[in-house]
Amino acid sequence: MQTPWIIGNWKMNGRIDRNIALINAFKTFRLPEKVHIGIASSYPYIHQLYTELQETSIWVGAEDCSQFYDDGAYTGEVSANMLADCGAKFVIIGHSERRTYFSENNDLLKIKLQNALSAGLLPIFCVGETLQERESGQEEKVIASQLAILRDFADASMIVAYEPVWAIGTGKVAEPEQIQAMHQFMNEEILSITGKRDKIPLLYGGSVNADNASIILKTSCVDGALVGGASLKADVFMRIITAATE
């Protein structure tokens, strides 16, 4: 079995003092060696997290990066190179909140993936269908169209996260059968799109918490979890990490 991944996505949360308190709480736990652990934070805190977590095995990442690669006159933008410079090791690309609120589409996400890879960051590429798409039986079609951009990244190291939009922040977690069926579909789809034999780790995200983590992480074709709200509580996040070792 591959080493599982547990990645926290803090979204637009955090303050310097609160981050310190959370990190200090993490540091009191003995982190398992056989789990890849990461925290994605808002841009201003990446370097703080990098500095504070340097002695631990926890990777720091970003939640997005700019479509622009080279330095230049792009007011307000943060490039993938800057993120790497600040200590980020990975970056979430194509989260549904970015697709929804910032109209991010395949053309843009292709550029962002390329930028992340060029800067040496590990992309965590997110896909997911809305409730309406699932209820109308379109979920595989939607996921296949989101995954289509991987055609240009056949040899790239990356992670893919399945986050059904209807399960994000709603407390409505997908059933293990739904997760397993979709992850199996995604494995087959990625193989057919890229012709790639190396397995891309597939994470599940959407209302993962300390109570459901164990069953989700034991579901076949699930290589880890992308955790939103529950990653903001040290003891809960730690219980999810522990569930990955079982």
Known catalytic residues?
Answer: 95, 163
In the complex, what is the shortest distance from the CB of residue 169 to ligand 13P, in angstroms, rounded to a whole number? 4
- Nearer Cβ to ligand 13P (147/230): 230
In the complex, what is the shortest distance from the CB of residue 92 to ligand 13P, in angstroms, rounded to a whole number? 7
Query: Using CA atoms, how far apart are residues 78 and 162, in angstroms rounded to an integer?
Result: 25
Contacting residues for 100 by C-beta, under 8 A, at least 6 apart: 165
According to the binding rule CB under 6 A, does residue 211 interact with ligand 13P?
no
According to the binding rule CB under 6 A, does residue 160 interact with ligand 13P?
no
Query: Using CA atoms, how far apart are residues 49 and 96, in angstroms rounded to an integer?
Result: 24
Please tell me what DSSP assigns to residue 3: P
Could you give the 3-state DSSP secondary structure of residue 107?
helix
- Nearer Cβ to ligand 13P (194/208): 208
Mark residues 84-103: x for contact with ligand 13P by CB under 6 A, - for none: -----------x--------
According to the binding rule CB under 6 A, does residue 224 interact with ligand 13P?
no
According to the binding rule CB under 6 A, does residue 146 interact with ligand 13P?
no
- Nearer Cβ to ligand 13P (116/194): 116
Segment interacting with ligand 13P, rule: CB under 6 A, options 19-27, 77-85, 110-118, 161-169: 161-169
According to the binding rule CB under 6 A, does residue 128 interact with ligand 13P?
no
- Nearer Cβ to ligand 13P (179/194): 179
According to the binding rule CB under 6 A, does residue 120 interact with ligand 13P?
no
- Residue 216: alpha-carbon gap to chain centroid: 16
Query: Using CA atoms, how far apart are residues 241 and 246, in angstroms rounded to an integer?
Result: 10
H helices present in 14-95, as ranges: 16-27, 46-53, 80-85
According to the binding rule CB under 6 A, does residue 168 interact with ligand 13P?
yes
Site of interaction with ligand 13P (CB under 6 A):
9, 95, 163, 168-169, 205-208, 226-230
